[in-house]
Structure formats: C-alpha cells, structure tokens
Amino acid sequence: MEDPRLRLFAVIAISICAFLSTVGALMTLAWWAVLTPGPRLLRQSPAPLFALVPVALISALGIATGGDGFSYFIRMTAIVLVASYAYQVRRPGEFLQVCGWMMGNRTGFDLGLSGEIGLSSLELLGRDLSRIRTAMQLKGMSLSWNTFGPIAGGMVIRLLSSSEDQADLLYTRGYSEGGTACPRFSRGTWDFVPFFAAIFFLILSFLEVRDIFILLQ
C-alpha cells in the first residue's frame, strides 16, 4: 500500500478487528499474510518477533490460571504482526504528512511531528543496538547481566541526549507550535484492495459467527 492514509486507516481497522474476537484475529492474520508484504518483510528482518515473547508468557499465564490465554495469544499475535508490517513499510515524514492532511497545520503538524520524533527514536534505538552488538563482537564481549545494565543505560542516555539535540534544533529553526506540512501522496494500483478488505473484515468481526453464516445463506 503506497498511500499512507489508506494504510493507516486499514491498519487501525484491522487492528480493531483483531482485538474484538478470535475469529477477527484469524481474519486479520489472513489479511496480513495475503494482502500485505508482511511475511516477506518479517523474513528479512525478524526482530519484531521478539515482541511475541511477552505475549506468549502472558498467554501461558492466562492458560495456567484458567483464563482465555489462547484467544489472547491469537489476538495479540495478529496485532503485533500488523504493527510490525506498518512500522517496516513506513517512510520518514509520512506520519507528519498524514496528520497534517487530517488535522491541519496546527494540531496535525504538532501531532505528526511528535509521532515522527517517536518513530525516529525507535529507529535510533535499533541502530544503536546493532552498533553495540558490533562493538561487543569486536571487543570479544558477550551479553551478560554485568554488561546488560551499562549497555541499556548507555542507550537511554544517548536517546535522551539526542532528544535534547532535536529540541535545540527545533528551537534554533524557530519552532514554537504548528507548521506547514504540504502533504503529497501517491497511490498504488491495488491500494484499495487491502483497504476495503480491512474495512470488510472489521464489519464482519462485529457480527456473531452464526450471523455470518445466516448472511451467507
């Protein structure tokens, strides 16, 4: 999906669909697997799969205590996979453009800018982690409880320092509030297919399973 507006709305719709029911989550998984390049992107960069570790732990705890851990696992897995797809295909500046288009140059710009800063911080953390792994490899160090603390602390300090630099940069460029986003969007030929599919699945997820079969009859 090239148009970030359609992608954003489709991701929101399909995430709600996944959250509502297990059937909705299964439809979401099908949407992710068939209508997005998510599986291919995940093979190239499987890091988002780590987010499933706490999900699996909570699900196991839920099953062990007699709760609906299985449903939770399916629903959260679907949401994590959709979120990882949305993160992996995004381009810098896109969120700012969408917010500017949706809510104008004041609220939209501020919201978009905050979102962009947040997303770029995530990228910065990813790059930092990759560099630290290389540095540790070059020093012949391995990750242990002794090294984990200083490394995690260093990453947080670097992130805070980078936020300070960003704030200084915005200030020196005269930013106080709002701005001009000038959004421009391009749309792929098949962009509407996953968009309408997401909306359709969301509508279906509001219906009871038996209602779907009644509708089909």
Partner 1 sequence: MELAFEAVHKRRGDFTLRASGIFGPGVHLISGKVGAGKSTLAALAAGIMAPDTGTVKKNGVSSFTLSLQFPEWHITGNTIGEEILSWGLNAEDVLMRVGMKGRDHDDPLAISRGELKRLHLACICMRKWDLLILDEPFSGLDCRQKQELCRWIGEFRSGILLICTHESHFLPPVDFLWEMRDGVLFALGRVPEALAAWKQAPPLLKSLLCQGILPRNITEDDVREAAWKIRG
Task: Note the residues at the interface with partner 1 (CB under 8 A).
Answer: 131-132, 134-139, 141, 147, 150-151, 153-154, 157-158, 161
Q: What is the closest distance, in whole angstroms, from the C-beta atom of residue 131 to partner 1 in the complex? A: 5
**Closest CA relative to residue 31, chosen from 14, 54, 49:** 14
Report the residue number, 37 or 149, with the smaller CB distance to partner 1: 149
Report the residue number, 137 or 166, with the smaller CB distance to partner 1: 137
Report the residue number, 114 or 161, with the smaller CB distance to partner 1: 161
Q: Which residue has the tokens 């260093």?
A: 154
Report the residue number, 135 or 169, with the smaller CB distance to partner 1: 135
User: For residues 142-177, b (16+ Cβ closer than 10 Å) or e, as one string?
Assistant: eeeeeeeeebeeeeeeeeeebeeeeeeeeeeeeeee
* Residues whose CB is less than 8 angstroms from the CB of residue 103 and which lie 6 or more positions away in sequence, other chains included: 111
Q: What is the closest distance, in whole angstroms, from the C-beta atom of residue 46 to partner 1 in the complex? A: 17
Q: What is the closest distance, in whole angstroms, from the C-beta atom of residue 167 to partner 1 in the complex? A: 17
Q: What is the closest distance, in whole angstroms, from the C-beta atom of residue 168 to partner 1 in the complex? A: 15
The packing angle between helices 94-103 and 4-20, to 10°, is 90
